Amino acid sequence: MIQEKESFYISTPIYYPSDKLHIGHTYSTVAADTIARFKKLVGYDVFFLTGTDEHGQKIEQAAQAAGKGPKEYVDKIVEGIVHLWEVMNIDYSKFIRTTDGYHVKSVQKIFRKLYEQGDIYKSNYEGWYCTPCEAYWTNTQLDDGKCPDCGRQVHMAKEEAYFFKMSNYAQRLIDHIEANPKFISPESAKNEMLNNFLLPGLEDLCVSRTSFQWGIPVDFDEKHVVYVWVDALSNYITALGYLNDEPQLMEKYWPANVQLIGKDILRFHTIYWPIMLMALGIELPKQIYGHGWILLKGGKMSKSKGNVIDPIELVDKYGTDTLRYYVLREMPFGGDGIYSEENLIARNNSDLANDLGNLLSRTTSMVDKYFGGCLPDVKHFDTPDTNLIQMATELPFIVAEYMNEYEISNALANIWKFVSRVNKYIDETEPWVLAKDENSQARLATVLYNLLESLRIIAVLISPAMPETAAKMREALHINEELMTWQSIEVFGKYPAENKVAPSGVLFARVMTEEEEKKIEKRVQKEKRKMEKAEVKSEEIVAEEVTEQYPSFKETITIEEFAKIDLRVAQIIKAEKHPNADKLLVLQVDLGNCQKQIVSGIAEFKDPNDLVGKQIVVVVNLKPAKFRGMVSEAMITAVGEDKETFAMIVPEKEVAPGEMVK
Ligand code: MSP
């Protein structure tokens, strides 16, 4: 824990409002948001900057093609970007647009200052120009005649231009990188920049353009506009008031603690940007972190390939926190990750719906059932508690260590190890068995208390990555904000005694995978074919009718008669007591392509908490009936008459819910 409020400044790149933002951009911003929220949680005074990079030829051309003025064109797209960040629950401190007046003025002052002090000079430029990247390249830099950054066609261009004497600062930058090994992270990015660009020698950088207009004019030579990267990179300081009206933010937050970027824009951020800052006499950011890319199985996402994954569509289908969790958990920080919707669904179903969601609902419903929602303030500790409490106490330190290195995926993996541990604790302590023994009430209350407290710790730890889920958990646990602070989880046992909770709602809904959907479709087709065949076969049987008598329990039926009974494997997703009948349980079951409610007279034999997650065999085409006001749409299959002999019929191994029993 830090003693005083230290400042922490984190930025994302500012996004081009040319293409629609996709899941890759979303990852960048969600990662920055998670780090910013974590730093706030542990007590820093955080400034988190994001925004849009709105100038340049590419945008000018896109606006022309759309028949709009460039500002009008970008305004509309920026609206969409702001909306996306709202949907993704991004809590930025400031959203900068490079068309904002204060930024434009500061950039003009920056350019003039660099010119007046001799870092920028006027000359002519001739070289290979890549319009989409807005970059000039020399012959040797070209990759097979194409732009080395994006691989697209370049063309020869010549213009009068201003140049920045990069070489003046190259050695200072090399020294800085060597003296500050984490300045460029990860290590691979540092080596790439040193070996490919800095050590071979830096060429002067062309920092103005005359071939188009949509940019910040050089105020002392108005036919030039400022090179878009000089304009864009400056945002990190103009947003803090550098050379404009509110320089106090600059004093408070600069130098940035971490500037998060994708690996494709490393060169701009780790060479041009620090050299610009050196020339301006400004301290360098502490760290530039180049994260990996979200790729698709076939490679990069691109508008031309038409394979861009839209985050808004995913949020509509799965929710904000499922998407946040997925990108944060699946992407190794620093390395690339492959996106697949199946993996997203699998993470949702196993980590979120099953492991975390069920843990919360099981716990709150047990507290409700056994103690009317309010645990008595009595404690009876036992062996399994020691290990659980130890793990819970160590966890915040482990998570902090990973988060301080921006290894969000590892931080989450450790939180989920604890989620599994807590689930195992329920199996070890068997609260439903304790509940039956009057002498075990203190032990039962202790077990449930430990569960509530563990859930509170989990809620705090996941709050930077999944703020909405943490808030839902806080509500379900019925605790106030003070118990959601980092300090409050450094010691186990802050969950208030005799606090009242109610059974929680569903945190994450289970989603059917495409594979499951396909399986169901396949099964339906298979069944159809079988039925057709069965008809043929039954005709054959009819032709050879058997007349002798065979022993039978009930009256013999034909295969067609048996086929009328639709037996399926169902997964129990919820189980609770019937509100008006002690003997009845009300089950919600998943049948793959639908869910059904079953009212069953098994309350004396089965604890509802033991049933959730189990697969059983049910009759699904029985005529629905009402039992004390609740409709039963199917019937379970079981043997036995009493507690000792009662057993449900279950499949031998886990199968897809809805699978037909035949
Ligand atoms: N406008 C420049 C940045 C200027 S910062 C002074 C830019 N914009 S961008 O919209 O093209 O990209 C913004 C960020 O999104 C970059 O860091 C880029 O690496 C990142 N990503 C774009 N596609 C991505 C993935 N598929 N995966 C992860 N990040 C990706 O560059």
Q: 406-423 pLDDT, tens per residue?
A: 999 999 999 999 999 999
Query: Which protein residue has the closest C-alpha to ligand 1 atom 30?
Result: 24
Please determine, for residue 547, whether its predicted confidence score (pLDDT) is greater than 70: no
> Which pLDDT band, with edges at 50, 70 and 90, does 563 fall under?
confident
CB atoms within 10 A of CB 628: 11
Residue 195 in this model has a pLDDT that exceeds 90: yes
Grouping H, G, I as helix, E, B as strand and the rest as coil, residue 173 is helix
461, pLDDT greater than 90: yes
Residue 155 CA to residue 227 CA, distance in Å, equals 18
Ligand 1 surroundings by CB, under 6 angstroms:
13-16, 24-25, 27-28, 53, 232-233, 235, 261-262, 264-265, 293-294, 301
For residue 546, the model assigns a pLDDT of 56
Atom of ligand 1 nearest to the CA of 262: 19
pLDDT at position 313: 95
- Cα→Cα distances 177→10, 99, 181, Å: 20, 32, 6
Beta strand 630-632 pairing with 615-619:
unpaired
Cα(275) to centroid(ligand 1), Å:
21
The number of the ligand 1 atom at minimal distance from the alpha carbon of 273 is 6
| Residue scoring higher pLDDT (506 or 397) | 397
Q: What is the mean pLDDT of residues 557-573?
A: 87
d(CA 15, ligand 1 centre) in Å: 6
Residue to substitute in 11, 15, 288 for testing ligand 1 pocket (most ligand atoms within 8 angstroms of CB): 15
Q: Phi, psi at residue 575, to the nearest 5°?
A: -145, 130
Q: How many CA atoms lie within 13 A of 254 on its CB side?
A: 19
Question: Are 291 and 408 in contact, with CB atoms under 8 Å apart?
Answer: no
pLDDT in tens, 314-340: 999 999 999 999 999 998 877 899 999
Q: List the single range of 160-164, 282-286, 315-319, 631-635 with lowest mean pLDDT.
A: 631-635
Residue 468's pLDDT is: 98
Q: Whose CA is nearest to atom 5 of ligand 1?
A: 13
The answer to which of 15-19, 232-236, 316-320, 498-502 has the lowest mean pLDDT is 15-19
pLDDT above 70 as % of the chain: 95
Nearest CA to ligand 1 atom 9: 15
Q: Whose CA is nearest to atom 12 of ligand 1?
A: 15
**Which of 18, 20, 27, 28 has most ligand 1 atoms within 8 Å of its beta carbon, as the pocket-test mutant?**
28
**What single-letter amino acid sits at 126?**
E
**Ligand 1 midpoint to CA 411 (Å):** 24
Q: Please check the confidence at residue 438 and state whether its pLDDT lies above 70.
A: yes
pLDDT at 542: 36
User: What's the pLDDT band for 154 if we cut at 50, 70, 90?
Assistant: very high
Q: Which atom of ligand 1 is closest in space to residue 235's alpha carbon?
A: 6
- The rounded Å distance from CA 66 to ligand 1 centre is 23
Q: Please give the structure tokens belonging to residue 165.
A: 């004497």
- Look at residue 19 in the predicted model and tell me its pLDDT: 66
> Which of the four pLDDT bands, split at 50, 70 and 90, describes residue 71?
very high
pLDDT at 655 over 80: yes
Q: Provide the 8-state DSSP code for 206.
A: E
pLDDT at 109: 98
Question: Among positive and negative, which fits the CA dihedral 545, 547, 553, 554?
Answer: positive
Q: Which helix (H) or strand (E) holds 369?
A: helix 358-371
Give the best-scoring range by mean pLDDT among 125-134, 326-335, 441-450, 525-534.
441-450
165 alpha carbon to ligand 1 midpoint, in Å? 27
Query: Of all residues in the chain, what percent carry a pLDDT higher than 90?
Result: 72
Nearest-atom index, ligand 1, CA of 295: 26
Give the range among 105-109, 233-237, 309-313, 534-538 with minimum mean pLDDT.
534-538
What six digits make up the tokens of 161?
């231009």
Q: Using one digit for the tens of pLDDT, what is the confidence trace for 463-519?
A: 999 999 999 999 999 999 999 999 999 999 999 999 999 888 889 988 877 776 677
pLDDT 10s digits, 256-275: 999 999 999 999 999 999 99
Tell me the CA–centroid distance for residue 84 and ligand 1, in Å: 15
Q: Is the pLDDT of residue 541 over 50?
A: no
Per-residue pLDDT, 100: 98
Nearest CA to ligand 1 atom 13: 15
pLDDT of residue 524: 63
pLDDT band at 118 (very low <50, low <70, confident <90, very high): very high
| pLDDT of the residue at 520 | 64
Q: Which pLDDT score is estimated for 539?
A: 52
Using DSSP's 3-state secondary structure scheme, residue 337 falls into: strand
Closest residue by Cα to atom 16, ligand 1, is 262
- 3-state secondary structure (DSSP) of residue 541: helix
Q: Kindly report the protein residue whose alpha carbon is nearest to atom 18 of ligand 1.
A: 262
* C-alpha to C-alpha distance for 60 and 404, rounded to whole angstroms: 41
Atom of ligand 1 nearest to the CA of 292: 28
For the CA of 52, the nearest atom of ligand 1: 1
Query: Stretch 366-381: mean pLDDT, rounded?
Result: 93
Summarised one tens digit per residue, pLDDT across range 590-615 is 888 778 889 999 999 999 988 988 89
- DSSP codes, 570-628: EEEEEEEEETTEEEEEEEEEE-SS-EEEEEES-TTT--HHHHTT-EEEEE-SSPPEEET
Instruction: Using the mean position of ligand 1's atoms as its centre, give its distance from the Cα of residue 229 in Å.
Output: 13
Q: Which of 242 and 562 is assigned the larger pLDDT?
A: 242
- Helical pair 441-462 and 358-371, crossing angle rounded to 10 deg: 150
Listed residue (594, 605, 595) closest to 639, CA to CA: 605
Structure tokens at 446: 């202790």
The pLDDT of residue 543 is: 37
* Ligand 1: centre distance to CA 261 (Å): 7
The phi and psi torsions of 582 (rounded to 5 degrees) equal -65, -30
What number is the average pLDDT over the span 447-454? 98
Q: Is the pLDDT of residue 630 over 90?
A: no
Residue 96 CA to ligand 1 centre (angstroms):
16
pTM for this prediction: 0.79
Q: Give mean pLDDT, residues 141-166.
A: 92
262 C-alpha to ligand 1 centroid (Å): 6
Mean pLDDT for 563-587 is 90
pLDDT of residue 545: 55
Mean pLDDT for all residues in the chain: 91
